[in-house]
Amino acid sequence: MTPSSDSTFRDIIAQVKENADIVAIIGQYLPLKKAGSRWLGVCPFHHDRRPSMNVTPQMGIYKCFACGAGGDVIRFVQDYEKLSFVDALRAVAARTGIQVPEKFSVSEGGGREKTELALAANQLAAAYYSEQIEKAPFVLDYLEKRGINPETRRQFQLGFAPDSLDGLLRRAESRKLPLEALSEAGILGVTEGGRRYERFGGRLVFPIWNLSGHIIGFGGRTLDPQGQPKYVNSPESPLYHKSRVLYGFNFARNAIDKAQEVVLVEGYMDLLSLWQAGIKNAVAVSGTALTRDHVHILGRFAKRAVLFFDGDGAGRKAVKRSLEPLLAQGVEIRVPVLPSQEDPDSFIRQNGAEGVLQLFAGGDDLAGFLLREAGKEPEKMSPEEKDSVFKEGAALMQLMPSEVVRQGHLETLRKALKISAGAVSYAPVPQKGKPKQGPQPPAGGGGLPGLFVPESGFRPRDEAIPEWQLLQLVLAYPGAASERLEHFDIDELQDPVVRDLLDHALALLAETGEIRLTELSERLPENLRDALLAVENLEAAADTEKSASRLKMLGDIVYTLEMRVLKRRLSAETDLARHMELQRQVKELTHRNQGGTP
């Protein structure tokens, strides 16, 4: 589908949103579980393990009940990937088959945004580097010696950056890409003397992708055995945050999700070797220690992590540093023990997938790792040494979010250290930062599956509950409901939020003949939209009996509300004639509700 040339920007945005499957797209970034008519997942915008992220396809929006993050599908991609609006729009559009005309990148906002330019620069450079590698036999030789086959090389778009900048600059010029874009992307560095240089010059280059398929940065490995530093990475930028970047995650995501397990490696080459051996649920942390942000991203897909690091001192240190963020996120860990003199890469090449998986299966758990680190059999440890190992383990285990898991690990460690059971106590740790249990939302009355989304923590005053139930029914049965409401004055409702929501909903119904939640939510100011999200979505039941009973309930609710209004007026009325008229109306209403005709 190509929008006609006079389509306005707004039309295109509307079209993209209309056609995008918000559940599928957000589901790319985090697992979503269906809960009634909506989907729940762990919010990526705050640290949490509970599923407070709520995706409502009927409205085309997501909302986190804990941190408040919310918006439409474009906003999600924009915030998650840290893209400009136009780039996020393009990323979403690409999945719907709608083309976003090139000019929007220039016309919107009066100039191409910096991140967009940097992305264009990365793409251009990656293409250029991968052409150059074909012309650099010594680089291809090097890869062959490292056992990387051409298929893997192409899959990961490995490239070579020549020392000289000229070729890249000419390419940029011919594509009308400004020089600043290359600087913004960190491809061009500037020396203190003001001289420009190619940051990855003379290096084997590994493009790094985000989850929406954009190249956000590069890692470059020197090919000179004496070259220093061995690796350079793109500098921090709005696109590239090394504390969040996981190399290979875009390729590994599905395999990680499927296995519920991630293999963490230190180097790009380790990852390529694993991939080539057929172990595809691996990511590499590039140029930094594993952070809580990394684990927060991974923890949505993986329950377990295998820390496949070098067996040397530096590798052991990296394992130790990684434990804290993993355990704090509730991720179970396993540390394979490499034979001495081996690193992951050499081990994979010599033993293949089967040998690697065997090594993983026999890896240490947390207690095993701690014991191995102690470097002594428990029988040979002094009580003081045992105490110190136990304390170190207990301190790490304090981080575990589950009390049950924590106690289990403490017990394992105690037994491994051969400490007698009476010598340690397992008092539960007071949990910090745990959300308080809010008041429980009322269960939906009389056969309704639930009035409010439990996670929303939303609860109006008790008297207002029939009004909210009315809203819920109006949204599910607009035709029948509006008929029933014909003689009811919405302004008489007591809860102003319900009043406003019904006002908007009924106006939409009058205009379009239906109440489409996407459209309704777009018309609402934010506070109303949030309130609407808290209302459990009642899908019109296919079951006629169920529908009939719900419509009966609708009648009862309207009756209750009408009666309330009359009684309120009655008690305020001082004029006798009008008082009697109101009393007549009460009688009539009662009669009608009992099945009689007026």
Exposure string over 470-493, b if 16+ CB within 10 A, otherwise e: bbbbbbbbbebbeebbeeeebeeb
Q: Residue type for 384, please? A: E
CB of 25 to Zn ion, least distance (A): 17
d(CA 346, CA 515): 62
Residue 238: helix, strand or coil by DSSP?
A: coil
Exposure string over 107-138, b if 16+ CB within 10 A, otherwise e: eeeeebbbbbbbbbbbbbbbbbbbebbeebee
d(CA 485, CA 493): 12
d(CA 158, CA 143): 10
Between 200 and 301, CB nearer to Zn ion: 301
Q: Residue type for 138, please? A: F
Between 69 and 285, CB nearer to Zn ion: 69
CB of 339 to Zn ion, least distance (A): 44
CB of 30 to Zn ion, least distance (A): 11
d(CA 362, CA 1): 53
- x/- map, 485-524, Zn ion, by CB under 5 A: ----------------------------------------
What is the number of alpha carbons within 13 Å of residue 553 lying toward its C-beta? 23
Between 64 and 371, CB nearer to Zn ion: 64
Residue 160: helix, strand or coil by DSSP?
A: strand
Between 32 and 66, CB nearer to Zn ion: 66
CB of 132 to Zn ion, least distance (A): 43
CB of 64 to Zn ion, least distance (A): 3
Between 374 and 531, CB nearer to Zn ion: 531
Binding region for Zn ion (CB under 5 A) out of 38-46, 55-63, 203-211, 485-493: 38-46
**Is residue 533 at the binding interface for Zn ion, with CB under 5 A as the rule?**
no
**Is residue 62 at the binding interface for Zn ion, with CB under 5 A as the rule?**
no
Q: How many other C-beta atoms lie within 10 A of the C-beta of residue 391?
A: 11
Residue 577 CA, distance from chain mean position:
64
Between 44 and 207, CB nearer to Zn ion: 44
CB of 56 to Zn ion, least distance (A): 15
CB of 468 to Zn ion, least distance (A): 24
**How do beta strands 282-285 and 261-265 pair?**
parallel
Between 59 and 520, CB nearer to Zn ion: 59
| Phi, psi (deg, nearest 5) at residue 233 | -120, 160
The answer to whether residues 323 and 295 touch, using CB atoms and an 8 Å cutoff, is no
CB of 458 to Zn ion, least distance (A): 16
Binding region for Zn ion (CB under 5 A) out of 14-22, 29-37, 67-75, 114-122: 67-75
Between 39 and 369, CB nearer to Zn ion: 39
d(CA 382, CA 502): 73
Q: Please, what is the end-to-end C-alpha distance for the chain in angstroms?
A: 56
Q: How many other C-beta atoms lie within 10 A of the C-beta of residue 450?
A: 16
Host H or E run for residue 593: helix 576-593
CB of 36 to Zn ion, least distance (A): 20
546: left (phi over 0), alpha (psi -120 to 50) or beta: alpha
CB of 66 to Zn ion, least distance (A): 5
CB of 13 to Zn ion, least distance (A): 24
CB of 279 to Zn ion, least distance (A): 32
Between 46 and 49, CB nearer to Zn ion: 46
Between 47 and 564, CB nearer to Zn ion: 47
**Is residue 112 at the binding interface for Zn ion, with CB under 5 A as the rule?**
no
Q: How many other C-beta atoms lie within 10 A of the C-beta of residue 1?
A: 9
Binding region for Zn ion (CB under 5 A) out of 41-49, 257-265, 436-444, 565-573: 41-49
**Is residue 45 at the binding interface for Zn ion, with CB under 5 A as the rule?**
yes
Binding region for Zn ion (CB under 5 A) out of 57-65, 113-121, 253-261, 387-395: 57-65
**Is residue 43 at the binding interface for Zn ion, with CB under 5 A as the rule?**
yes
Query: What is the size of the binding site for Zn ion (CB under 5 A)?
Result: 7
d(CA 54, CA 162): 48
The answer to whether residues 91 and 213 touch, using CB atoms and an 8 Å cutoff, is yes
Binding region for Zn ion (CB under 5 A) out of 11-19, 42-50, 178-186, 407-415: 42-50
Residue 370 structure tokens: 């701690």
Q: Residue type for 200, please? A: F
- For residue 401, cis peptide bond before it (omega within 30 degrees of 0): no
CB of 206 to Zn ion, least distance (A): 32
Between 126 and 533, CB nearer to Zn ion: 533
**Is residue 29 at the binding interface for Zn ion, with CB under 5 A as the rule?**
no
**How do beta strands 261-265 and 215-222 pair?**
unpaired
CB of 29 to Zn ion, least distance (A): 13
The answer to whether residues 276 and 148 touch, using CB atoms and an 8 Å cutoff, is yes
∠ CA 17-23-24, nearest 5°, is 90
| Binding residue (CB under 5 A) for Zn ion from 35, 67, 94, 289 | 67
Residue 309 structure tokens: 């690091």
Between 52 and 537, CB nearer to Zn ion: 52
Binding region for Zn ion (CB under 5 A) out of 60-68, 110-118, 357-365, 470-478: 60-68
| Binding residue (CB under 5 A) for Zn ion from 3, 9, 46, 519 | 46
| Binding residue (CB under 5 A) for Zn ion from 20, 64, 120, 524 | 64
Between 56 and 276, CB nearer to Zn ion: 56
Binding site for Zn ion (CB under 5 A): 43, 45-46, 64, 66-67, 69
